[in-house]
Amino acid sequence: MENSSALSTNNTRLLSTPFEVGFLNYSSQLNETCSKLDNATTPENPLYVLIYVSIFYSVIFLCGVAGNGLVLFVLWRNKDMRNSTNLLLANLSIADLFVLLVCMPTAIAEFYCKEVWYLGEAMCKLIPFLETVVIHASMLSILVISVERYYAICKPLHADQRCTTRKTGKILVGIWICAISVTTPFFAIAKERDAWLGDTPVKVCSTSIDEYWKKIYIVTVNVVLYATPGLLLIIIYAMICRSLMADRKNVVVGTCRPRGERVDTL
C-alpha cells in the first residue's frame, strides 16, 4: 500500500511539472483548433461578385477571340499582306488566342469551384505549362515586333535585308522553341495536392515555390523574360521617338504661293 501510494504521489508530482502542464494545454488548444477547422465552411461568393466576374470575363473573352480571329482571317485571305511585320502580328494574335482559350476558362472554373481542382493530375501539370508558354511567347513576340519597327523607322535602308519573310519565319520558330524550353520546369512545379474544404477532402492544383531551385528558376525567368525585355522596349521606343523628333525638325517647309501665280517647270 505504501509503495502504491508513493507511486501515485510520484505520478501526480511528474504530471504537475510546468513542462507537462504546458504540453497538455497546448494539446488541448491544438485539438480545439483542428475541430474548428474541420467544422469550418468556405463562405459563398456574393451574388454581385459572381455577376461582375461572369460579365467581365465574358466580354474580355468574346472581344479577344473576335479581334485576334479577325486579324488571322484577314491575313489568311489577303496573301499580299503576308510580310514580315504582319507575320509577327499574326504570331502575337495566335499567342493571345491561346491565352484566352487556355487561361480564362481555367481561371473562371477555379473561381466558381473555389480553387477545387477536378481535371486530374495530368491537366494540373499541362495547363500551367501552356499558360506560361503562351505568356512567354507573347512577351518575346512583342520584343521582336519592336526591333522590327526600329529598323523600319530608324534604319529603313537595312530593314529590307534584316526583316525578310524567311528570317521572320525562323525567328517565330525560335520564339516558340525558346518559350517551351524555358517553361519545361513547370511540369515539376505544378502538382495536384490534397486539401480540405470544410470537412470534405478535395484536390487542388498547387504551383507553390517551396524549394530553393524553384525560387532561383522563378527569379531568373522574371529577370530574363520580363524585366530585361521591358527595359529593352523602353530603350527601343525611346530611340524611335528620338529619331522621329529629329526627322520632324529636319523637314523643310515650302513657302506658300499666291493664287494664280505661275510655276515654271523644266
The neighbouring-strand residues paired with 205 are 192
Per-residue model confidence (pLDDT) at position 259: 46
Q: Which amino acid makes up residue 212? A: Y
pLDDT classification of 249: cutoffs 50, 70, 90: low
Strands of the chain, DSSP E: 191-197, 200-206
Which range has highest mean pLDDT (152-166, 201-215, 216-230, 244-258)?
A: 216-230
C-alpha distance across the termini of the chain, in Å? 138
Q: Quick one: which of 180, 181, 212, 189 has its CA closest to 125?
A: 189
Rounded CA-CA distance 151/163 in Å is 8
| pLDDT tens per residue, range 61-88 | 999 999 999 999 998 888 777 788 888 8
Mean pLDDT in residue range 47-66? 87
Q: Three-state SS for 72? A: helix
- Compute φ and ψ for 45, nearest 5 degrees: -70, 140
Q: Which residue has the higher pLDDT, 31 or 89?
A: 89
pLDDT classification of 177: cutoffs 50, 70, 90: very high
Q: Which amino acid makes up residue 256? A: C
Per-residue model confidence (pLDDT) at position 25: 44
How many C-beta atoms surround the C-beta of residue 238 within 10 A?
Answer: 10
pLDDT classification of 181: cutoffs 50, 70, 90: very high
Per-residue model confidence (pLDDT) at position 116: 79
> Cell 509577327 maps to which residue?
88
| HSE-CB of 126 using CA atoms within 13 angstroms | 6
pLDDT classification of 167: cutoffs 50, 70, 90: confident
pLDDT at 18 over 50: no
Residues in the chain: 266
Domains of the chain in sequence order: 47-246 (1.20.1070.10)
Percent of the chain with pLDDT over 90: 21
Rounded CA-CA distance 201/116 in Å is 10
**C-alpha to C-alpha distances, 133 to 54, 126, 189, 221, 250, nearest whole angstrom:** 26, 10, 14, 12, 44
pLDDT at 100 over 50: yes
Q: Quick one: which of 220, 216, 240, 74 has its CA closest to 153?
A: 240
